[in-house]
């Protein structure tokens, strides 16, 4: 009985070892395949996403009849805060390259010393121009060119 038991144990070990040996190349291939898939998917998401770089917050100052010059470079995903520096009401809207108009004030207007925000669309392309204007004061206009960072 003891002999039989040890025999069966002896018999099992080689089978398991054999299985592992024969399964290893397949598993290795699977792991490589999954690794490559992961790399491809991650790479695709990374390169497709405009947010691969960190989004920033910029500030623009709106006076009585103009936007003050800005020195930041707007990138896709960046938020731009527009502060009404004047003592009059404004109603800023942005015209997109495709003609879409987006109002930055959900209610009637932007009161003095208040801030409204606009986020550069994540799918904005390099050189896309967005035009900031005021419904009330048509002289106000700022053309903003988006730059997509070369390196991600």
Which position among 109, 131, 136, 148 is part of the footprint of Cu ion (CB under 5 A)? 136
What DSSP element (H or E) covers 116? strand 115-119
Neighbouring C-alpha atoms within 13 Å toward the C-beta of 49: 12
Asked if 94 and 74 count as a contact pair (C-beta separation under 8 A), the reply is no
Which position among 58, 75, 133, 137 is part of the footprint of Cu ion (CB under 5 A)? 137
Which stretch in 11-19, 43-51, 69-77, 137-145 sits in contact with Cu ion by CB under 5 A? 137-145
Q: Identify the bridge partners of residue 83 per DSSP, sorted by sequence position.
A: 61, 115
Nearer to Cu ion, 60 or 146 (CB): 60
> Least distance (Å) from Cu ion to the CB of residue 112?
11
Which position among 80, 116, 134, 142 is part of the footprint of Cu ion (CB under 5 A)? 134
> Least distance (Å) from Cu ion to the CB of residue 134?
3
Q: What is the footprint of Cu ion within residues 68-127 (CB under 5 A)? A: 90
Nearer to Cu ion, 58 or 90 (CB): 90
The number of angstroms, rounded, from the C-alpha of 82 to the middle of its chain's C-alpha atoms is 21
Could you give the CA distance from residue 147 to residue 126 in angstroms, rounded to a whole number?
5
Task: For residue 129, give both structure tokens.
Answer: 């121009």
């Amino acid at each position: 009985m003891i002999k039989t038991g040890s025999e069966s144990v002896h018999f099992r070990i080689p089978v398991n070892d054999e299985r592992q040996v024969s399964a290893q190349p397949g598993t290795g291939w699977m792991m490589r395949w999954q690794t490559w898939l992961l790399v491809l998917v991650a790479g695709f998401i990374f390169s497709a996403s405009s947010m691969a770089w960190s989004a920033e917050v910029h500030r623009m100052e709106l006076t009585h009849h103009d936007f003050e010059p800005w020195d930041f470079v707007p990138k896709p995903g960046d938020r731009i805060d527009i502060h009404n520096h004047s003592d009059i009401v404004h109603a800023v809207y942005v015209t997109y390259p495709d003609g879409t108009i987006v109002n930055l004030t959900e209610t009637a207007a932007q009161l003095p010393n208040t801030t409204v925000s606009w986020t550069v669309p994540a799918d904005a392309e390099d050189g896309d121009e967005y035009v900031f204007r005021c419904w009330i004061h048509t002289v106000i206009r700022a053309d903003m060119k988006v730059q997509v960072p070369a390196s991600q």
